[in-house]
Amino acid sequence: MSTKIVIYDTTLRDGSQAEGISFSLEDMVKIARRLDEAGFDYVEGGWPGSNPKHEEFFQSIQKIPLKRTKIAAFGSTRRASLSAADDPNLRALVESGAPVATIFGKSWDLHVTDALRIPLEQNIEMIYDSVKFLKEHCEEVFFDAEHFFDGWKANPAYAISALKAAEAAGADCVILCDTNGGCIPSKIQDALNAVFAEIKCPVGIHAHNDSETAVANSIVAVQAGACQVQGTINGFGERCGNANLCSIVPTLRLKLGLDCLSDEAVANMTSLSKYVDEVANVVPNDKMPFVGRSAFAHKAGIHVDAVMKQPLTYEHIRPEQVGNARRVLVSELAGASSIVMKAERYGVDLNKKSPETKDVLDQITRLENQGYSFEGAEASFELLLQKSVGTYHKLFDLKSFRVMVEQRGTDPEPTTEATLRVVVDGQEMLTVAEGDGPVHALDNALRKALVQFYPEQIKHIKLTDFKVRVLDAKEATAAGVRATVESTDGKSSWNTVGVSANIIEASWHALVDSVEYGLLKMMAKENGS
Amino acid sequence: MSTKIVIYDTTLRDGSQAEGISFSLEDMVKIARRLDEAGFDYVEGGWPGSNPKHEEFFQSIQKIPLKRTKIAAFGSTRRASLSAADDPNLRALVESGAPVATIFGKSWDLHVTDALRIPLEQNIEMIYDSVKFLKEHCEEVFFDAEHFFDGWKANPAYAISALKAAEAAGADCVILCDTNGGCIPSKIQDALNAVFAEIKCPVGIHAHNDSETAVANSIVAVQAGACQVQGTINGFGERCGNANLCSIVPTLRLKLGLDCLSDEAVANMTSLSKYVDEVANVVPNDKMPFVGRSAFAHKAGIHVDAVMKQPLTYEHIRPEQVGNARRVLVSELAGASSIVMKAERYGVDLNKKSPETKDVLDQITRLENQGYSFEGAEASFELLLQKSVGTYHKLFDLKSFRVMVEQRGTDPEPTTEATLRVVVDGQEMLTVAEGDGPVHALDNALRKALVQFYPEQIKHIKLTDFKVRVLDAKEATAAGVRATVESTDGKSSWNTVGVSANIIEASWHALVDSVEYGLLKMMAKENGS
């Protein structure tokens, strides 16, 4: 096993092949700078030969002094009909000004005969010529052996001859690609062993996640001797994604003790993951290992109890090592320990035996029997906690509401109108508003009532998600309904919950908690408390 | 490597530890039945000793004849202070009536000394006694060695002595658990080799995904000799989830050629995955390997081109093998084939080129762009099909509706009232009804209008489930909403769908389809057609 493992990020190139992801030029530059700060060795910027936006990226990034990262330009081996020096694609790599050129070439005989439709030997010459030409103009040249593992299975001698051609032409690293993502770890292991018997130059791994084994395959390859890992932040990539560097880097560093990114960079992995999701405008996957919001969230009472005594019991690493945090979920499965632990996070000092703890626990049990679920509604839980310990400060009092949805034959859209009677600061307000649906109309009416009292605060609070769950299917439309609302003030977000037999009332409760929580939070901050 | 691999599903127990997942009793029964149909060997139903809902599940499931699946009840080894026969938890396992009991016990010395706080030897006795007691009362007993891999690393002899105690007491399988999910494949491999040197009884694997290697670890364990794999559908589970059976089963069957589920069951894996997401009310992860919507979606031009010539070039398996589909630019012809195939199922004879097929295809494309999904709403699809081919017979015509929800300060429950104007058989009816919520009130008002025309039929139709999903989370309360309704006539059940920016209107469309479909179905039967 090499002790220095080079990390090569291809979020901007292979990652942008993911469904729903499209980076602007600014996005690309932002991500590259952030990866440089984190100390990534290489960042692949794109295909200068085939994409004008990528070409611009290479121009822009040259003007920015990078601390550590080397930028790589991506392309393919020369065309069969042209010499390397005449190939516009290879010239574009050189002209991009990137110090590193990475080119892919065929190593699976089927692709040579069926896709390129040229003799097998000619493909080997194309690899040799292309690497040799680039080596004359770039600091470093990497060769991505596309479909290496499938090629090696079909025709091992041919697949390895492709690597040998790149090596002979001076490639600084040959990267074995599981392009279709179909490999399992044992196959990676066998292939790497065969490669190391014949190849002396550094070897890298580039895995895809179609078998849900991309991370494992990358780690197995490193253990077998690979010294470069190619992947993407959050596993972005075509189909099921590329190997996820947010899982691979912490594993290499924390579990195998290898030299890749610094401990400090690993401790910023959660923030890096969130940043890239934010730039890509992608909803974060809470379940993501290491960096996801649920990665260290405990629900079962038995687990919560044990984690409080000794985190090692149900955590494979300390969450701080990757910049993440432990979360205790309040649920029917939890007990007094979780209440105490949660209260602590909100600066409320409780102990297992105190009457407030019992009061909170009783209320939660009662509410959960009604269908409440606080595990995804931390803000409603915090309000309940404040009410129990007496730190809650009421901002408004609801007297009544009315919602009307009406559809007339000729109108394609129904009309929705909400009317509210609210007392704020001793003053009774009657407001009415329309909306696309009942919750939207209620939200608008509530804002109308509150805007003159909290003009600055209310405009920062935005509803970002709204979910509904029917609780007991047996009674169908007469069953209970649980609504959860997510809001944000632009910096952080919070979730609240409401339950009722009536979908409108359930949504209303969640909405009221959400707005009240946001206002209280901002006012606490303004008061410096 | 064993050739028969037993698949043990713990979606209902360990899967329900996932953040945001909470199954009702009906959900649990539905999923168990579906897993039985798919041929799963074991389905773990929950903890009868500690959760009343789980206890009810064991009672309900006994009344249902299962084809293949054996139900397992879950619990822990006896308490230190009680004999096995006196332990209420172990007795609950026996009394659950489940043919299989699975208990977990400690195999990591740290947990025995620091969490249980008892002598090491006493824990071994607890394992032995508990397994022995259960073996006297249950058909099969499985022993889950909690934290086995961490335990084996810390104190290999002790970890293995825990397995030996279970083996000696007659356990039918000992399952090695990576409870914290911190293992990488090489560690799994080494531990299994050590276990097989000392244990003769069957060995299983239970992996968690905290290192993003749960699927790989399960496969490596099977290759090392494990013959039982425990996991969940879609990888549901605490923190980062359990090992995902939707990836493991296709790999074992299609790549390693092992006997686990049938080829037919593997070919239904995508539909099973969607079904469980639907029941759990979880937004499907498009990137999920094998079964995700993007798993065989091609974006790069080069890839699309190559895949059209030879799918093997960028697909690791044929998507049909897991019931998934390739998504390129949606080809008219491919779309038409599926419509023809579907129509056939409803006894409607279409061909690819007929104008009706094109009409249905156009409508579906338009509706799906609006957010409709006919996957879980076959009755709405059938109505659409009938309208296109001209076999649809309109039963009533809706002129207008109005829903009002009103809450006054003193009343704890809001009043909900729905008013409808409907033309049935040329006669205009104006009806009004109350309900627990808007959909309930609309349902009641519609029944009032229809009861004099279809008195016998309408009383047999009952709404059994109602679900709501917000379609675009970004715009929150102003986003689109998809409502699905499930109804039954006591013999069979059907699902319908409605979409709108307004939750009331979306529910209303689904409700109307549901009632109309039920009436048409009964009348067709009465007419003998």
- Flag whether pLDDT at B243 surpasses 70: yes
Q: Calculate mean pLDDT across residues B488-514.
A: 89
Residue entry with tokens 């770039």: A138
Across the interface, whether the CB atoms of B438 and A181 are under 8 A apart is answered no
Q: Which residue of A has its CA nearest to B24?
A: A472
Residue B295 per-residue DSSP state? T
Lowest mean pLDDT among A70-84, A493-507, B205-219, B258-272: A493-507
CA pair distance B323, B288, nearest whole angstrom? 14
CA pair distance B183, B148, nearest whole angstrom? 11
Q: What is the pLDDT of residue B529?
A: 52
Contacts of B211 in chain A (CB under 8 A): 215, 247, 251, 255, 289-290, 316
Q: Calculate mean pLDDT across residues B339-343.
A: 70
> How many residues can be counted in chain A?
529
CA pair distance B43, B28, nearest whole angstrom? 10
Phi, psi of B291 (to 5 degrees): -105, -5
A69, with CB counted inside 10 A (0-12, 13-18, 19+), is buried
Q: What is the pLDDT of residue B300?
A: 58
Residue A79 per-residue DSSP state? P
Q: What is the pLDDT of residue B332?
A: 39
In three-state secondary structure terms, A177 is strand
Across the interface, whether the CB atoms of B239 and A297 are under 8 A apart is answered yes
Instruction: Please state whether beta strands B42-46 and B70-76 pair in parallel, antiparallel, or not at all (unpaired).
Output: parallel
Across the interface, whether the CB atoms of A255 and B211 are under 8 A apart is answered yes
Strand partners, B468: B483
What residues of chain B, 164 to 183, have a C-beta less than 8 Å from chain A? 179-182
Q: What is the pLDDT of residue A356?
A: 82
CA pair distance B174, B164, nearest whole angstrom? 9
> Which of B407, B410, B463, B493 is most worth mutating to test chain A (most A CB atoms within 10 A of its CB)?
B407
Q: What is the pLDDT of residue A300?
A: 66
ipTM above threshold 0.90 = no
Is the minimum CB–CB distance between A289 and chain B shorter than 8 Å? yes
Is the minimum CB–CB distance between B410 and chain A shorter than 8 Å? no
Is the minimum CB–CB distance between B197 and chain A shorter than 8 Å? no
CA pair distance B382, B492, nearest whole angstrom? 15
Residue entry with tokens 């692949």: A44
Q: What is the pLDDT of residue B128?
A: 98
Query: For residues A234 and A247, is the Cβ–Cβ distance under 8 A?
Result: no
Q: What is the pLDDT of residue A474?
A: 42
- Flag whether pLDDT at B119 surpasses 80: yes
Detail the DSSP E strand segments found in A233-366: 297-298, 327-328
Q: What is the pLDDT of residue B472?
A: 57
Contacts of A220 in chain B (CB under 8 A): 185-186
Burial code (b: 16+ CB inside 10 Å, e: under 16) for A179-213 equals bbbbbbbbbbbebbeebeeebeebbbbbbbbbbbb
- Flag whether pLDDT at B476 surpasses 50: no
Q: What is the pLDDT of residue B303?
A: 65
CA angle, A36 then A174 then A288, to 5°: 50
Q: What is the pLDDT of residue A325?
A: 87
CA pair distance A221, A176, nearest whole angstrom? 9
CA pair distance A384, A387, nearest whole angstrom? 5
Number of Cβ atoms within 10 Å of the Cβ of A302:
16
Is the minimum CB–CB distance between A190 and chain B shorter than 8 Å? no
CA pair distance B510, A271, nearest whole angstrom? 42
Across the interface, whether the CB atoms of B27 and A209 are under 8 A apart is answered no
| Token output for B115 | 């969490």
Is the minimum CB–CB distance between A468 and chain B shorter than 8 Å? yes
A230 CB-side CA count, 13 A: 31
Nearest by CB to A184, which of B18, B182, B219? B219
Residue entry with tokens 């089963």: B249
Is the minimum CB–CB distance between B497 and chain A shorter than 8 Å? no
Residue A69 per-residue DSSP state? P
Q: What is the pLDDT of residue A402?
A: 95
Is the minimum CB–CB distance between B252 and chain A shorter than 8 Å? no
Quickly list H helices, B315-435: 332-345, 355-370, 378-389
Across the interface, whether the CB atoms of A463 and B477 are under 8 A apart is answered yes
What residues of chain B, 330 to 389, have a C-beta less than 8 Å from chain A? none
Q: Model pTM greater than 0.90?
A: no
| Token output for A81 | 């009909």
CA angle, A517 then A522 then A527, to 5°: 125
Residue A78 per-residue DSSP state? P
Ramachandran area for residue B392 (φ above 0: left; ψ -120 to 50: alpha; else beta): beta
Query: For residues B14 and B232, is the Cβ–Cβ distance under 8 A?
Result: yes
Report the 3 state secondary structure along A260-271.
CCCHHHHCCHHH
Contacts of A295 in chain B (CB under 8 A): 210, 239-240
Query: For residues A201 and A168, is the Cβ–Cβ distance under 8 A?
Result: no
B74 CB-side CA count, 13 A: 22
* Domain annotation for chain B: domains and CATH numbers: 6-261 (3.20.20.70), 297-389 (no CATH), 397-526 (3.30.160.270)
Is the minimum CB–CB distance between A17 and chain B shorter than 8 Å? yes
Contacts of B26 in chain A (CB under 8 A): 472-474
CA pair distance B441, B511, nearest whole angstrom? 11
- Flag whether pLDDT at B107 surpasses 50: yes
* Sign of the CA dihedral with A69 first, then A70, A73, and A76 last: negative
Question: How far is CA A207 from each of CA A154, A480, B526, rounded to the nearest angstrom?
Answer: 18, 46, 60
Closest by CA position to B246, among listed B73, B35, B47: B35
CA pair distance A446, A421, nearest whole angstrom? 9
What residues of chain A, 31 to 90, have a C-beta less than 8 Å from chain B? none
Q: Calculate mean pLDDT across residues B374-390.
A: 82
Nearest by CB to B502, which of A310, A315, A437? A437
Q: Which residue of B has its CA nearest to A189?
A: B186
Phi, psi of B252 (to 5 degrees): -60, -40
Rounded average pLDDT per 10-residue block, chain A, 529 residues: 90 88 84 96 91 87 95 96 95 96 96 90 98 98 98 97 98 98 97 97 98 98 98 96 98 97 96 87 86 87 73 88 84 65 76 80 77 78 86 88 88 89 92 92 94 91 80 53 86 87 90 93 76
Is the minimum CB–CB distance between B478 and chain A shorter than 8 Å? yes
Question: How far is CA A251 from each of CA A169, A188, A261, A330, B335, rounded to the nearest angstrom?
Answer: 34, 18, 11, 30, 44
| B351–chain A nearest CA distance, Å | 32
Q: What is the pLDDT of residue A486?
A: 86
What is the per-residue pLDDT across B12-65, written as a single tens digit (0 to 9) for each?
999 998 888 888 888 899 999 999 999 999 999 999 977 778 889 999 999 999
Nearest by CB to A409, which of B239, B399, B481? B399
Contacts of A219 in chain B (CB under 8 A): 184-185, 213
Question: How far is CA B312 from each of CA A147, A151, A487, rounded to the nearest angstrom?
Answer: 11, 12, 45
CA angle, B235 then B226 then A211, to 5°: 40
Query: For residues B162 and B107, is the Cβ–Cβ distance under 8 A?
Result: yes
Strand partners, A208: A242
Q: Which residue of B has its CA nearest to A463?
A: B476
CA pair distance B405, A479, nearest whole angstrom? 16
Q: What is the pLDDT of residue B328?
A: 60
- Mean pLDDT of all residues in chain B? 89
CA angle, B399 then B402 then B404, to 5°: 170
Contacts of A485 in chain B (CB under 8 A): 476
Distance linking the first and last C-alpha atoms of chain B: 55
Question: Would you place residue B216 in the very low, low, confident or very high pLDDT band (cuts 50, 70, 90)?
Answer: very high
Number of Cβ atoms within 10 Å of the Cβ of B524:
12
| B198–chain A nearest CA distance, Å | 24
| A529–chain B nearest CA distance, Å | 31
Residue A300 per-residue DSSP state? S
CA pair distance B476, A493, nearest whole angstrom? 13
Ramachandran area for residue B226 (φ above 0: left; ψ -120 to 50: alpha; else beta): beta
What is the per-residue pLDDT across B418-453, written as a single tens digit (0 to 9) for each?
999 999 988 999 999 999 889 899 999 999 999 989
Is the minimum CB–CB distance between A318 and chain B shorter than 8 Å? no
Q: What is the pLDDT of residue B187?
A: 97
| B354–chain A nearest CA distance, Å | 31
Q: Which residue of A has its CA nearest to B503?
A: A437
Write the single-letter amino acid at B113: T
Residue entry with tokens 């000004």: A97
Q: Which residue of A has its CA nearest to B243?
A: A212
Is the minimum CB–CB distance between A285 and chain B shorter than 8 Å? yes
Q: Which residue of B has its CA nearest to A282?
A: B474
- Flag whether pLDDT at B473 surpasses 60: no
B1 CB-side CA count, 13 A: 15
A19 CB-side CA count, 13 A: 16
Q: What does the radius of gyration of chain B's CA atoms come to, in whole angstroms?
A: 27
Residue entry with tokens 């030409």: A133
Query: For residues A402 and B405, is the Cβ–Cβ distance under 8 A?
Result: yes
